[in-house]
Amino acid sequence: MWYGNLFEELKSLQDSERAVSMAAYMRNQFPFLGIAATPRKLVAKSYFRIALQEHIIDFDFVEKCFQQQEREYQQLAVDYLLSIQNLLTPEDLNRIKKYIVTKSWWDTVDGLDGVVGSMTLRYPELKKVMVEWSRTDNIWLRRVAIDHQLLFKNKTDTLLLAEIITNNFGTKEFFINKAIGWSLRDYSKTNPQWVKDFIQKHSSQMAPLSIREGSKYL
């Protein structure tokens, strides 16, 4: 296996005291090994480099990570998918969707934003899927639809951004309203006038949280 003793090496870093505080930070949604992001990524770096160089797309590895109890394994899976994101094709999107809706919380979902975003940049036909996700009942798919263009800067599709955001007006869901604010705040660094005009036009329909976050740099 290309990932050799990665699981064992990761587990050797566990810190039971840190694990308690990490679980508490995540509202005790999952148990933790107690490994911070930096050492987790360092231990996997050489393995993921091999995967990228040899074009290894191994969803069995991702499945194994998601089958583990401790949260660091799911975070490891997201790290892996981010490292090989440029190898993924439209046929892989349903697999990514599965991981968005499995053991969902903001840490893994927000990481998968980047994976989905890179796919839509390379395969614009996936934009229609983002519109579909923006209307689903699953808040995590909606969050990815809203935020998948983060850091796109001048490559941002503003018509798509506007459609997806307006599809999510009227919700009281924190994770959705926060995502709307983040997407607007991020794009305001590139085109502040567009964001200002959008907020002015839709302020009566937007949650205060979205307006506050979206206006941060205006």
**Which bin fits 131, alpha (ψ -120 to 50), beta or left (φ > 0)?**
alpha
For residues 172-196, one letter each, b for 16 or more C-beta atoms within 10 angstroms of the residue's C-beta and e for the rest, the string is eeebbbbbbbbbbbbbbeeeeebbe
Q: What Rg do the C-alpha atoms of the chain give, in angstroms?
A: 18
Mean per-residue pLDDT, 24-41: 97
Q: Which residue has the higher pLDDT, 32 or 4?
A: 32
Confidence of residue 182 (pLDDT cuts 50, 70, 90): very high
- The rounded distance, in Å, linking the Cα atoms of 152 and 139 is 22
Q: Tell me: the pLDDT tens digits for 39-64?
A: 999 999 999 999 999 999 999 999 99
Whether the pLDDT of residue 30 is over 90: the answer is yes
pLDDT at 143: 98
The token pair at 30 is 């999952």
pLDDT at 1: 86
Give me the chain's average pLDDT, please: 97
Specify the pLDDT at position 98.
98
User: Is the CB of residue 41 less than 8 Å from the CB of residue 77?
Assistant: no
Measured CA to CA, the distance from residue 1 to residue 5 in angstroms comes to 9
- The predicted-structure confidence for 76-128, as pLDDT tens digits, reads as follows 999 999 999 999 999 999 999 999 999 999 999 999 999 999 999 999 999 99
pLDDT exceeds cutoff 90 at 35: yes
pLDDT for 153: 98
Residue 12, pLDDT score: 97
The whole-model pTM stands at 0.96
Q: Give the domains, in start order, of the chain with CATH numbers.
A: 1-87 (1.25.10.90), 123-218 (1.25.40.290)
